[in-house]
Structure 1
Amino acid sequence: MATVKWSLDPLHSEVQFKVKHLMITTVTGYFQSFNVEVETEEEDFSQASNILFTADVNSINTNNEQRDTHLKSSEFFDTDTHGDIRFVGNHYEQTSSDTARLHGDLTIKGLTKPVSVDVEFGGTVIDPYGQTKAGFTVTGKISRKEFDLTWNAVTEAGSVVVSDDIRVNAEIQLVKQA
């Protein structure tokens, strides 16, 4: 079997995260600079290996410059010391013909923890330019405190300002490499 390499199509991909603010609304943010590389046997993603996702934390965008600057500071991501987020997938567990559970190691702020995410495979198609593309929706949830993202404040009523749970949603389109 031949190994096939896939790389990110950044024009048709996005990575977003959501966090509760004051426990009454949700704030959405994006990483504007990220990369994904995958190797498969033939075009069979059930045999995916060498799955690598990286995001440049300095590209974080929550549509609020002051908040983005705070997120980059030592109180959160500490981008002067830890400029990227890294996920290395080590087991792609097919759960049905178009869904899977991807297990791997997530590194944020120098801390590496095992994480699993749900993957919905949208399929493969040849685009009008003759490129083979594959599409995925990736969803998951992590605890920010497990990665030393512990800053918080408390309101007068005793509610926390930022929830511990971070929901992640990514739309990933990959291009088969020649």
Structure 2
Amino acid sequence: MAKVKWAVDPTHSEVQFKVKHLMITTVTGYFQNFNVEAETEDEQFSNPANVVFTADVNSISTNNEQRDTHLRSADFFDAAEHEEIRFEGTNYENAGGDDYKLHGNLTIKGNTKPVTVNVEFGGIVVDPYGQTKAGFTLTGKISRKAFGLTWDAVTEAGSVVVSDEIKLQAEIQLVKQA
């Protein structure tokens, strides 16, 4: 049986991150341009393989152009040298019911580290146009410093300006490819 290929439906998907600012509020950012592809053994999304996520660093948006420019700079993502963030899945394990763990290798700014994200499988439906779609909510946490995003500043009172922990959240809808 041939593998089933899946591709992201970008109009029904979003990728965001959250980071503490001054340790008192949370700033949310998005990647406006990203891609997700996967292969499965069947249409039930069992045994996904070749799960690949990429995001265009230049598409980062926090709804503040000055901050976005800083994030694209060498202080953070260094978009001029490292235009893409990449995740390649290595193992998809059932954690009970519709909950899964997706293990893989995340590359940011030329640094690759193993990462595990939590996946809530939303199910599979056929839309009004006859397309088979699968939905997922992904959550996880990473250390930005582990990936070379080491810019730091402190306030006069000694508070950290940007936390090391980054919370990841994505709503992903995949479309079965013909």
Q: Which moved more, 1:114-123 or 1:36-45?
A: 36-45
- Alignment map for 1:3-152 (pairs within 5 Å): 3-152=3-152
Q: Any idea what the Cα deviations from partners look like across 1:125-165, whole Å, max 9, x if unmatched? A: 00000000000000000000000101010111111100000
Q: 2: distance between equivalents of 1:117 and 1:42?
A: 23
Q: 1:41 is aligned with what amino acid?
A: E
Q: 2: distance between equivalents of 1:60 and 1:48?
A: 28
Q: 1: distance between equivalents of 2:155 and 2:79?
A: 27
Q: Any idea what the Cα deviations from partners look like across 1:50-97, whole Å, max 9, x if unmatched? A: 000000000000000000000000110000000010000010011123
Tell me the SS of whatever aligns to 2:45: strand
Correspondence for 2:172: 172
Q: 2: distance between equivalents of 1:21 and 1:36?
A: 29
1:45 shift after superposition = 2.5
Q: 2: distance between equivalents of 1:68 and 1:23?
A: 19
The unaligned stretches of length 5 or more in structure 1 are none
Aligned length: 178
Instruction: Check the 8 A contact 1:46/1:94 in 2, yes or no.
Output: no
Work out the percentage of aligned pairs sharing the same amino acid. 74
Tell me the SS of whatever aligns to 1:116: strand
Instruction: Check the 8 A contact 1:103/1:115 in 2, yes or no.
Output: yes
Instruction: Check the 8 A contact 2:98/2:122 in 1, yes or no.
Output: yes
Q: 2: distance between equivalents of 1:20 and 1:4?
A: 40
Q: Any idea what the Cα deviations from partners look like across 1:15-36, whole Å, max 9, x if unmatched? A: 0000000000000000000000
Instruction: Check the 8 A contact 2:44/2:124 in 1, yes or no.
Output: no
Q: 1:126 is aligned with what amino acid?
A: V
Tell me the SS of whatever aligns to 2:71: helix
Q: Which moved more, 1:38-47 or 1:81-90?
A: 38-47
Instruction: Check the 8 A contact 1:46/1:93 in 2, yes or no.
Output: no
Tell me the SS of whatever aligns to 2:151: coil
Moved over 4 A (4+): none
Q: 2: distance between equivalents of 1:17 and 1:170?
A: 8
1:174 shift after superposition = 0.2
Q: 1:118 is aligned with what amino acid?
A: N
